Amino acid sequence: MRLLLLLAFAVPVWAQELKILVIGDSISIGYTPFVTAALKGKATVVHNSGNAAHTRNGVAKIDEWLGDTKWDVIHFNFGLHDLKIMEDGKHQVPLEEYAENLHSIVQRLKQTKAKLIWASTTPVPAGKISPLREPADVPKFNAVAARIMQLEKIPVNDLFSADHSGQTPANVHYSPAGYQTLAEQVLKALAQ
Q: What is the pLDDT along the chain (192 residues), one digit of tens a residue?
A: 444 444 454 545 444 479 999 999 999 999 999 999 999 999 999 999 999 999 999 999 999 999 999 999 999 999 999 999 999 999 999 999 999 999 999 999 999 999 999 999 999 998 888 889 999 999 999 999 999 999 999 999 999 999 999 998 889 999 999 999 999 999 999 998
Separation of alpha carbons 42 and 19, rounded Å: 9
Mapping DSSP onto H, E and C, the string for 37-99 reads HHCCCCEEEEECCCCCCCHHHHHHHHHHHHCCCCCCEEEECCCCCCCCECCCCCECCCHHHHH
Q: In this structure, how many other beta carbons lie within 10 angstroms of the beta carbon of residue 63? A: 9
pLDDT digits (tens, 9 = 90+) for 111-166: 999 999 999 999 999 888 888 999 999 999 999 999 999 999 999 999 999 999 99
Range of the domain at 145: 2-191
Instruction: Report the number of distinct structural domains present in the chain.
Output: 1
This model's pTM is above 0.95: no
Separation of alpha carbons 59 and 155, rounded Å: 21
Segment holding 22, helix H or strand E: strand 18-23
User: 118 pairs with which residues across the strands?
Assistant: 76, 156
Q: Tell me, what CATH number does 179's domain have?
A: 3.40.50.1110
Backbone φ/ψ region at 60: left (φ over 0), alpha (ψ -120 to 50), beta = alpha
Q: Do the strands 73-76 and 18-23 form a parallel or antiparallel pair, or are they unpaired?
A: parallel
